[in-house]
Structures are given as C-alpha cells and as structure tokens.
Structure 1
C-alpha cells in the first residue's frame, strides 16, 4: 500500500508555486523525472488528478487547488517544527537557500558566503539570483538580499556593509572621441549602452544632485540584458554605460574605464541581508546571520 511522504507533498506544493515541473525540481534540488514520479504516485494514491498538464503549461485542477490550499499551511507548520528541532543542534548543517539580485550577490559572496562555507563545511548554500523581487517565505528561501529600501517591513534586516552607488563610465578612447558629459541632459548627445530589465522594459538612468533628480531614457547602438555584456561593450568603446559601482570598480582603478557624472550618483542605501523573524531558526541560519553581523561591524570600524 502506497503511503504519502512529506517529500511528495512538498513536490505538489512546489509545482503549484512554480507553475512548472522543471522550476519545482530546481527549487527542490531534485531531477524533473523524480519529481514527476512523486506527483504521479501521489495522484494515483489519492485517485484524483491534481494538475492539468499540456505540452506548454501546468495548472492545478479544481481538486488540486483545494488540496494545496489545505496542505500548504500544515506543511509550513511541519517544516517549522523541523526547523525548531534543527535549531537545537550544536553544529550547523543542511541547506540555506538565499535569493539575491546578481550585482548584490557579487558584492557579498566572497566576504560572507565563502567565509561561511569555510567555517561550516556541512552546510550547503543554494544561492539564486534574479532581478525580480520575490516573497522569500512563499518561494521557499531562508534569506534574501536587497537594498535597504526594498526590504519588506516585516523582515529582520542586517546591513552588509558599504552603501551602493551607480557609476556612469566610458572607455578613455570613447571619451577622447566624444567628450565628457557634464550634466545628465548632455547624454542626449552621447552613444549609450542600453539595458533591458527582467520585465522587458528599457532601464532609465537615474540621477540626483542637491535635491534635483533626473530620469534619462538614453539612446545608443546596442541594447543588452546582462551587466557583464554591457561592461564588455563599454570597454570596447561602444558607448557610455550605467552600472552599479562594484561592477566596474576595478576597471576604474586600473584606468580601463573613466567615470563621469560622479556628482550626480549619490549613495543608494545599504545592501541588506533579510529574513523572517522565526521563533526557531536553524543552527545554520543563526550562524550565517551572526557572521553577517560580525562582518558588518568590522566594515563600520
């Protein structure tokens, strides 16, 4: 007789949340085949189809929707109890899932994540980067990383160090040929590398100085959707680029890129690690947030 396991229930909730078997498998760290088999076994055991499947989409059936609505809160309680039990262990272990935007991840992965893994080799860190803001609790993450102004009010936030800034840069060759913009409005006469955001919109360059703000829809010969590609284009002299400072800091220091409009790009606010105020955080979560606080204190001194 087939007995339903916790992993089978997690699989159903993950597919419902992600809207696809592939996305759910990635979230759970298992193969798509194994996840599909787990859902199929549960459906067979229940005698009802939980998902409507086509070659292009997956959606909950009416029975599946009612089933997920009933089991999801119970699963949260069960996992909370398991987290509570793990929190009593002396040695951090298990998996920490972290959601961050790519530039933020590049900023903290070396001083924090790598240092943590060296101290706690029995912990596995699953770091997911994406541009969209997510509900870290609903999407199954333990921690998130965003700028302070984007952290939800009901979360505990830990500043990770120096505030972020934007930087407008160009290659020395480009600036020699086209000159240096002195104000944001001067960008109308420049070739710029345009960036498309994850939702498909073209990113507008944001500037601020002494209370005056400007949002500029730049024009240029190329549109890209990834910061490393935009950096390569700017290094080649294609045009000016708009980046988070940490992505081009070494290029500026080495003279490969020159910064312009520096006085129009004030600090954006601290980069923060954030997490829900659980009553029983795991030993791994407590160790990770503790290390983050230690590093933040050292950065301020």
Structure 2
C-alpha cells in the first residue's frame, strides 16, 4: 500500500526526531510542539505495526526498525529538499529557510552587523541562528551550515572565509587594574584573577601569546570559568578579572574607557571566521546570499 499524505508528513517528523534525538529540538526545527510530534509518531508506529523509537524521560533512541527506516528514507527526502530548493532559480529573489550553528562571538560580530540589510534584501528568506560554542555535527543536527574560527572547521567540510585574521587580547576594567595592578608579562597572570575560557569540547583554553621566541601558551588558573564571550565580557566590565578574547569584541568598550587592553605587545593573531557546509549537500540560495552579503559588507574585514 502506498504511503498516505499523513504518512509522508509523519516520515518528515520521524527523520527530524532521529536526527536530533529529541522531540523538543525537532519541534523547534519543524515548528511543531513536542506533544504534537509525539502524537504523530505514535500514529505512524501504529499504522506501520512496529516501534521506531525508544523513549525515556532522558533520551530518545532508535530501534532497529527505526534505524532501518531512517537509513532508507534519508536520501530520498534529501533529494526532495534539493529539488524544492532548486526551484529558487526561477524566482527573482531567494526564498526558504536556512539554519546556522554559529560560534557565539561570530553571531555578535559577524552576523549582527549584516542582518538588517539581509532582511531588507531577502524578505522571503527565514534565518534560524543557534549561537553556541558547543561543537556539534551540523549535518546530523539539521543545520545548513556552521560558522567557526578557521582551524577548527572539520576537514571534510567546504569552508568559506568570512573575516580577516583576528587579534586575541587580554582586557580588564580600570577598576580591576587599579585594585590588582597591571600585568607586565604573561607570567604575571598567575598572580591575577583570570576568567577562564571553556571550549566547545569542554576543555579549558590555555591563553595564547607571542613573544620574541614565537608563540606560546599559558595555562591560567581560574576560579571563574565561562563558555561564552558575552558572559565573560560582562564579568570583565564588572571588575571580576582579566578576560581573554578577540579584539573586536572588546573594541567598543576600550574606545569608551570601560576596558583597557593589557599585555598588548604579547598579543597573537589567529585565523578569522569561516562558514562551512558538507561538500555533498546542495548550498541553499539563501545561504549563498548570506555569504555574498557578509563578503560585501565585511564587518570584520576580509
């Protein structure tokens, strides 16, 4: 018996749940409530006569039947999505929806300055941005692309450079420096309050510097650690301690006097932001438009 229209919709729901391993995250992607997805999947399982998912309060996993169905259906549904996306070439302007997983600072520094223009130029494109430093499988999580620092992009992805190289600096508020003094060299950091940086894979970042003998790292000891540049910035502005990050994030506050850069002669420069996507996936026209606009406006140079 051929699948009904209801089956086709429920297959879409099933693939999203299988991809995210979560009813709530799949619901966010599909704009359907978690309870609605659960009801649809129960109906699909009933019609098929097999259980596709194992559900507990903490996890969603695929049964053997669920894995077989996912493997069989992923490619056809991907081809349907590509066919629909290809229709954009017949339109005057791009349309559709793009989902981006973006390292948090890039959302602020790279996307923030261009989104107003993007919305004006491409009113038929919806953009769903998840700003997080957590390292995720952009394909498995249902994203069209990711944005990360160059050098951290998976090797099997196509990368497009979106910014110039970035300078990494240490900054602090005048109140902190007045109370605790200004470090003269990276070795002085052991006597200072430093705000630790937790990376997307849960490692604690070792601050990088460059001296007469080249680049080196300093494993700072931190009583306070955060995984988001905006949170660390807020703490630094409040006098909590020294903060390490990309210079453009601190620049407005340095200009206003709310922060001061220290150890400037020891600063190092690293690769800028890159947008990346899998080579085997068709690039949505909305995503191409986003890339072109960032390169046109160059909020962080290029």
Q: Distance in 1 between matches of 2:32 and 2:167?
A: 38
Q: Do the aligned partners of residues 182 and 68 (structure 1) sit closer, same or farther apart at CA in structure 2, a change above 3 Å counting?
A: same
Q: Distance in 2 between matches of 1:169 and 1:280?
A: 42
For the pair 1:90 / 2:100, whether they are aligned, the reply is: no
After superposition, the C-alpha distances for 1:124-182 in whole angstroms (9 at most, x for unaligned) are 11011121333333332222212222334454433323322222111222223322222
TM-score normalised according to structure 2 size: 0.88
Unaligned runs of 5+ residues in structure 2 are none
Aligned to 1:134: 136
Note the 1:1-301 alignment, pairs <5 A.
3-210=5-212, 212-277=214-279, 281-296=283-298, 299=301
Q: Distance in 2 between matches of 1:55 and 1:162?
A: 45
After superposition, the C-alpha distances for 1:214-263 in whole angstroms (9 at most, x for unaligned) are 32222344333433332232222222111222221111111111111112
Shift of 1:67: 1.2
Instruction: Say which is worse superposed, 287-296 or 32-41, in terms of deviation.
Output: 287-296
Conserved? CA contact 1:160–1:295, under 8 Å: no
Aligned residue pairs: how many?
300
Q: Do the aligned partners of residues 136 and 87 (structure 1) sit closer, same or farther apart at CA in structure 2, a change above 3 Å counting?
A: farther
Q: Do the aligned partners of residues 132 and 222 (structure 1) sit closer, same or farther apart at CA in structure 2, a change above 3 Å counting?
A: closer
Conserved? CA contact 1:184–1:214, under 8 Å: no
Q: Distance in 2 between matches of 1:37 and 1:173?
A: 56
Q: Distance in 1 between matches of 2:8 and 2:26?
A: 15
Shift of 1:281: 4.1
Q: Distance in 2 between matches of 1:97 and 1:137?
A: 11
Shift of 1:284: 2.3
Q: Distance in 2 between matches of 1:138 and 1:240?
A: 37
Q: Do the aligned partners of residues 287 and 194 (structure 1) sit closer, same or farther apart at CA in structure 2, a change above 3 Å counting?
A: closer
Q: Do the aligned partners of residues 87 and 275 (structure 1) sit closer, same or farther apart at CA in structure 2, a change above 3 Å counting?
A: farther
Q: Distance in 1 between matches of 2:208 and 2:85?
A: 42
Q: Do the aligned partners of residues 69 and 277 (structure 1) sit closer, same or farther apart at CA in structure 2, a change above 3 Å counting?
A: closer
Shift of 1:279: 8.0
Unaligned runs of 5+ residues in structure 1 are none
Coordinate RMSD, CA, aligned: 2.5
Q: Distance in 2 between matches of 1:108 and 1:186?
A: 33
After superposition, the C-alpha distances for 1:25-72 in whole angstroms (9 at most, x for unaligned) are 123232212222222222122111101112222111111111111111
Shift of 1:198: 4.3
Q: Secondary structure at the match of 2:114?
A: helix
